A and B are shown apart, each in its own frame.
Chain A
Amino acid sequence: MTTTRIDRLFARLRDENRPALVTYFMGGDPDYETSLSIMKALPGAGADIIELGMPFSDPMADGPSIQAAGLRSLKAGQTLARTLQMAESFRKEDNTTPIVMMGYYNPIYIYGVQRFLADAKAAGIDGLIVVDLPPEMDAELCIPALEAGINFIRLATPTTDDARLQKVLKNTSGFVYYVSMTGITGSALPDTSKVAEAVARIKAHTDLPVCVGFGVKSAEQARAIAAAADGVVVGTALVNTIAATFGADGEPGGDAVQAAKQFVQGLAQGVRQARVSAAAE
Chain B
Amino acid sequence: MSDTVSANTFRSGPDEAGMFGIFGGRFVAETLMPLILNLETHWNAAKADPAFREEVRQLGAHYVGRPSPLYFAERLTEHLGGAKIYFKREELNHTGSHKINNCVGQILLARRMGKERIIAETGAGQHGVATATVAARFGMRCVIYMGATDVERQQPNVFRMRLLGAEVHPVSSGNGTLKDAMNEALRDWVTNVEETYYLIGTVAGPHPYPELVRELQSVIGQEAKEQILKAEGRLPDMLVAAVGGGSNAMGLFHPFLDDRQVAIVGVEAGGKGLEGDEHCASMSAGRAGVLHGNRTYLLQDADGQIKEGHSISAGLDYPGIGPEHAWLKDSGRVEYVAIRDDEALEAFQLLTRLEGIIPALEPSHAIAEVIKRAPKMSRDQIILVNLSGRGDKDIYSVAGYLGMEI
B310 to chain A, nearest CB (A): 16
Given known pairs A110-B289, A159-B193, the reply for A154 and B30 (CB within 8 Å) is yes
Residues of A with C-beta under 8 A to B179: 58
Q: What are the interface flags for B134-157 relative to A under an 8 Å C-beta threshold, 1 for contact and 0 otherwise?
A: 000000000000000000000000
Q: Mark B158-201, 1 if CB is under 8 A from A, else 0.
A: 00000000000000011000010001001100111100000000
> Does B71 belong to the interface (CB within 8 Å)?
no
Tell me whether A35 is interfacial, beta carbon within 8 Å: no
Interface-side segment among A85-93, A182-190, A235-243: A182-190
Check B30–A110 contact: CB distance below 8 A.
Answer: no
Complex: how many Å from CA A132 to CA B26?
A: 8
Q: Among A42-50, A160-168, A249-257, which stretch is in contact with chain B? A: A160-168
Give, as a whole number of angstroms, the nearest-CB distance from B59 to chain A: 31
B27, B174, B191, B307: the one within 8 Å of A182 (CB): B191
- Contacting pair A137 B292 (CB below 8 A): no
**Quick one: which of B25, B27, B31, B183 contacts A159, CB cutoff 8 A?**
B31
Q: Is there an interface contact between B303 and A132, defined as CB atoms closer than 8 Å?
A: no
| Residues A80 and B304 in contact, CB atoms below 8 Å apart | yes
- Decide yes or no whether A245 CB sits under 8 A from chain B: no
Contact with A along B294-312 (1 / 0, CB 8 A): 0100101011111100000
CB closest residue in chain B, given A107: B304
B32 neighbours in A (Cβ, 8 Å) = 159
Once A132-B290, A156-B30, A168-B30 are accepted as A-B contacts, the answer to whether A110 and B173 lie under 8 Å apart by CB is: no
Select one of A74, A110, A164, A187 contacting B33, CB under 8 A: A164
**In the assembled complex, which residues on chain A have CB atoms less than 8 Å from the CB atom of B290?**
104-106, 109, 132
Question: Could you tell me if B193 and A134 are in contact, using CB atoms closer than 8 angstroms?
Answer: no
Is B48 interfacial (CB-CB < 8 Å)? no
Encoded as 1 (CB less than 8 Å from any B CB) or 0, chain A from 145 to 162 comes to 000000000111101110
Instruction: Please indicate the chain B residues that have their CB under 8 angstroms from the CB of A207 in the complex.
Output: none
Cα of A155 to Cα of B29 in the assembled complex, Å? 8
A273 sits at the interface (CB 8 A): no
CB-defined contacts of A64 to chain B, threshold 8 Å: 173
Q: Is B28 an interface residue (CB 8 A)?
A: yes
In this complex, the interface size class of chain B, counting residues with CB under 8 Å from chain A, is 35 or more
A122 contacts the other chain (Cβ, under 8 Å)?
Answer: no
Closest to A161 in B: B34
The listed residue (B30, B287, B292, B300) touching A134 by CB distance below 8 A is: B30
Closest chain-B Cβ to A171's Cβ sits at a distance in Å of 13
Chain B residue with minimal CB distance to A179? B31
Give the contacts of A157-214 with B (CB-CB under 8 A). Answer: 157, 159-161, 164, 168, 179, 182-184, 187
**Given contacts A58-B183, A74-B305, A159-B193, is CB(A106)–CB(B26) below 8 Å?**
no
**Of the candidates A106, A154, A159, A184, which one forms a contact with B187 in the assembled complex, judged by CB atoms under 8 Å apart?**
A184
Question: Which residue from chain B places its CB closest to the CB of A168 in the assembled complex?
Answer: B30
Q: Is A23 an interface residue (CB 8 A)?
A: no
| A104: B residues at CB distance < 8 A | 290
| With known contacts A61-B187, A184-B190, A106–B29 Cβ distance under 8 A | no
Chain A residues packing against B (C-beta within 8 Å): 55-61, 63-64, 67, 74, 79-81, 104-111, 131-137, 154-157, 159-161, 164, 168, 179, 182-184, 187
Interface residues of B (CB under 8 A from A): 17, 25-35, 173-174, 179, 183, 186-187, 190-193, 287, 289-293, 295, 298, 300, 302-307
* A/B interface sample: 8 pairs, CB < 8 A: A56-B304, A111-B303, A132-B29, A137-B25, A168-B30, A182-B190, A184-B187, A184-B191
